[in-house]
Amino acid sequence: MDALHIALKIGKEFAFERTQKYKGNHLAHIIRSDWPNSVAQVLAKTKAPIIARASAGTGNWNAAPFMAFLDERLTTSPQRGYYPVFLYERGFESFCLVMAQGADRLKSTLGNKDALRELKRRAPKIRDAAPDWESKGFSVESFQTYSRGNVTFGRNADDPWAASVAFGKRYLIANPPTLSEFLNDLLLMLELYEEIYERIGDTFFAEELVMEGLAATGELPIAGVTGLDGALKIDEHKKRERRERNSKLVKDVKANLGYICQGCEASLDAIYGEAGKEFIEAHHLTPLSQAPKQGVQLTEKDFAVLCPTCHRIIHRLGCPSLDHLRQVVNPQLRNFHRTIKPNWKVA
């Protein structure tokens, strides 16, 4: 069976088969192996290393099946990256070929809300990287797709998966295109994919890794403070601080400002004794939007000394002023730190 007829068969039979046992199911087998094999000749026409991956579920049925086309230089998993994919729409009366993005990995890093915002931010950038999408017959409309892997039938519009779509084309099961039109659309889509890869490459993934790094240390800016662009700036800020950590200026800053945190007023040697002696971090106060230009002489005024916790929190807040940080810190903690006795003895 050819790729189009398999797609139509799936559209007609999936809703019923989904009520049957998954293991050993005939349609699931067609989806997984016959469907990708049926497009091998189209894939052979592209220069890019693209693999077709189709699924009806993993161990259990998905809400709907899909077939994704993954450029292996970019991603080998539909969980991340951007790629063309066949998806079915609500009610199985239509399906579509869309340029979508993997949402799973982003969702686990950022949470659903911020992941959605990030996918929406990327979609127009993907479009701009292949300006011919419209003349090649694709459009921007809201495709009512079942999320890949989403087993809840009722959800849609705000699902990150749907928001991730850059452009696409709809096919009606009752009024399908000809096979040659269908295969030609796929080839055009794969060519656009190549074009996008040439321009964007894996920039988004590099950004994602930065966000994952910040999330790991708890410094990913909290939602609504600086947004995701802020994450990249915080990362720059941290790199700069790391480079300067052992510089004479930073040592002088600490020696002159002292070892009491300017946020919570903790003195770490009062808390931890010898192990906390002279334990403090230097934080750049220069606002993130005004990264210091090369050659500009930094002075002690450009820094605050902070305990590691306050330092992470100020990053999390998107690097506001020291005053702002102090307003965030509970004043009771400062009072406590002022009264704590430094010369305690281990009992």
Give the residues lining the site for Zn ion (CB under 5 A): 261, 263-264, 266, 283, 307, 310
Our CB check for Zn ion shows the closer of 7 and 266 to be: 266
Alpha-carbon Rg for the chain in angstroms: 27
Give the chain's length.
Answer: 347
Cα→Cα distances 83→100, 146, 191, 271, 319, Å: 6, 16, 11, 53, 35
The least CB distance from residue 219 to Zn ion, in Å, is 9
The least CB distance from residue 347 to Zn ion, in Å, is 26
Residue carrying the six token digits 């709809």: 170
User: Coil, helix or strand for 170?
Assistant: strand
Count the neighbouring beta carbons within 10 Å of the beta carbon of residue 216.
10
Residue whose C-beta lies closest to Zn ion = 310
Query: Structure tokens of 219?
Result: 């410094």
The least CB distance from residue 227 to Zn ion, in Å, is 18
Our CB check for Zn ion shows the closer of 162 and 264 to be: 264
Residue carrying the six token digits 């720059």: 236
Our CB check for Zn ion shows the closer of 10 and 329 to be: 329
C-alpha of 10 from chain center: 31
Our CB check for Zn ion shows the closer of 296 and 333 to be: 333
Our CB check for Zn ion shows the closer of 210 and 264 to be: 264
The least CB distance from residue 257 to Zn ion, in Å, is 13
Evaluate whether 170 touches 143 at the Cβ level (below 8 Å): yes
The least CB distance from residue 231 to Zn ion, in Å, is 14
